[in-house]
Amino acid sequence: MRFPRKFAGIFGLVFLALVLSPSAGAKTKSRTEPQTHKVTSKPLAATVRSKVGRYPIVGKKSDRARLASSGVSRKTTRKVARIESERVASRAVEEADFDSAGNPLLRSAAFYVQDVRTGQVLLEKNSSSVVPIASITKLMTAMVVLDAHLPLNEVLEVSEDDVDRLKGTSSRLAVGTRMSREELMRLALMSSENRAASSLSRNYPGGQKVFVDAMNAKAQLLGMGDTRFYDGSGLNHSNVSSARDLATLVSNASHYPLIREFTTTAEYTAELAGGRIHTFHNTNSLVRSPEWQIEVSKTGFINESGKCLVMQAWMANKPLAIVLLDSWGRFTRLADANRIRRWLEEVLPRNGAKMAGTPPSAQTSIN
């Protein structure tokens, strides 16, 4: 059958319109889009993996299954990332420990490092500034108690008068707790118990006022002209001193065997009111480190003073008084102490400095 020429022309126009229609183009495009997306996703994933290293990002369930079968878990990848982050941070801190001349970069606002034997000042900054000293006060509290030769086995009771009304600090020693004078002194020095220090001063002959007067008289006797006390715990921010004066305090405190023992005891378990057993810990974690030879230690903190640390310790075969005041970071005072030790034992010898000395076989003792 032969189509008329007129119908053949019409059929050709319809066919051409179908070929050029948008729907036909859309179908063609929709078929190619998945392939295009798949191709572009590969470089993106490769970029992400290159940023995190050889450990893949764990996301989909199928990813977790593959990692489980290969022995790598999400927990492992996070741990590796955390450890690497800590290493980077540690290297940054170490690099900032010393300046280009090898001197330690200490962060405490005031510090003083002195050779106790010769009196040589090795490091100092703002050492004559008079500032609040918080619980460093308790070293003088213990010295005054021991100077009075009061019976250490006498049992004292924590009372309402020992509760901190000034700062509102808490205590593990409940009102009614009964302890010997020696135990209270141990907890005041080792764990910085404020109620223990208050009880010691309150049970001094003549009471707290006479006790504080004795503290100030002792400070004057030792030549601590920058020092003034108003209580035996250090909660009163009017208890002030200078880094130079505190070096004198810590070196004199080292002559008391009980102060040396109590300030360097790592922990102590005591029976409290009601038969409750509690373990107290030293507020200076350095006393638990085998790298340190600490003879006397005391920490302190109130808002007005910042974090403080005084020690007498052996470094590079020398007995050193170390005073670090107004340190605001959580670990600043400890980090500064470690910088001083590294400076004396590693940096100075490497630079040819002589740090000779021998620990004494016996110490001069009081009490």
Rounded distance between C-alpha atoms, residue 335 and residue 333, angstroms: 5
Burial profile 273-300: b = 16 or more Cβ within 10 angstroms, e = fewer: eeeeeeebebbbebbeeeebebbbbbbb
| Phi, psi of 80, deg, nearest 5 | -60, -45
Provide the pLDDT confidence category of residue 172 given band limits of 50, 70 and 90: very high
The model's pLDDT over 198-212, given as tens digits with 9 standing for 90+, comes to: 999 999 999 999 999
State residue 15's pLDDT score: 56
| Phi, psi of 93, deg, nearest 5 | -65, -45
Provide the H-helix boundaries in the chain: 5-19, 22-52, 61-70, 74-95, 137-147, 181-190, 194-202, 208-221, 243-253, 257-264, 332-342, 348-350
Strand, coil or helix: 362:
coil
Nearest-CA neighbor of 280 among 185, 212, 365, 205? 185
Of 5-14, 64-73, 206-215, 345-354, which gets the smallest average pLDDT?
A: 64-73
State both tokens at 219. 């400070």
Burial profile 28-56: b = 16 or more Cβ within 10 angstroms, e = fewer: eeeeeeeeeeeeeeeeeeeeeeeeeeeeb
Cβ neighbours for 4, distance < 8 A, ≥ 6 positions apart:
none
| Average pLDDT score over residue span 220-241 | 98
State both tokens at 201. 């001063």
State residue 101's pLDDT score: 82
Strand, coil or helix: 288:
helix
Rounded distance between C-alpha atoms, residue 167 and residue 236, angstroms: 9
| Average pLDDT score over residue span 298-318 | 97
Strand, coil or helix: 281:
strand
Beta strands at 267-271 and 293-302: parallel, antiparallel or unpaired = unpaired
Rounded distance between C-alpha atoms, residue 277 and residue 366, angstroms: 32
Rounded distance between C-alpha atoms, residue 195 and residue 158, angstroms: 7
State residue 357's pLDDT score: 41
Say how many C-beta atoms besides its own lie within 10 A of residue 307's C-beta: 21
State both tokens at 204. 């001094």
Domains belonging to the chain, first-starting first, are 110-350 (3.40.710.10)
| Structure letter (DSSP) for residue 283 | S
**Residues 190, 191, 195, 199, Cα dihedral to 10°:** -10
Q: Is the pLDDT assigned to residue 164 strictly greater than 90?
A: yes
Of the chain, the percentage scoring pLDDT greater than 90 comes to 64
Of 17-26, 59-68, 304-313, which gets the smallest average pLDDT?
A: 59-68
Q: Is the pLDDT assigned to residue 305 strictly greater than 90?
A: yes
Q: Is the pLDDT assigned to residue 256 strictly greater than 80?
A: yes
Rounded distance between C-alpha atoms, residue 47 and residue 137, angstroms: 59
- Distance from CA of residue 60 to its chain's centroid? 40
Rounded distance between C-alpha atoms, residue 243 and residue 230, angstroms: 18
Q: Is the pLDDT assigned to residue 68 strictly greater than 50?
A: no
| Structure letter (DSSP) for residue 285 | G
State residue 21's pLDDT score: 52
What are the residue numbers of the active site? 135, 138, 192
Q: Is the pLDDT assigned to residue 20 strictly greater than 70?
A: no
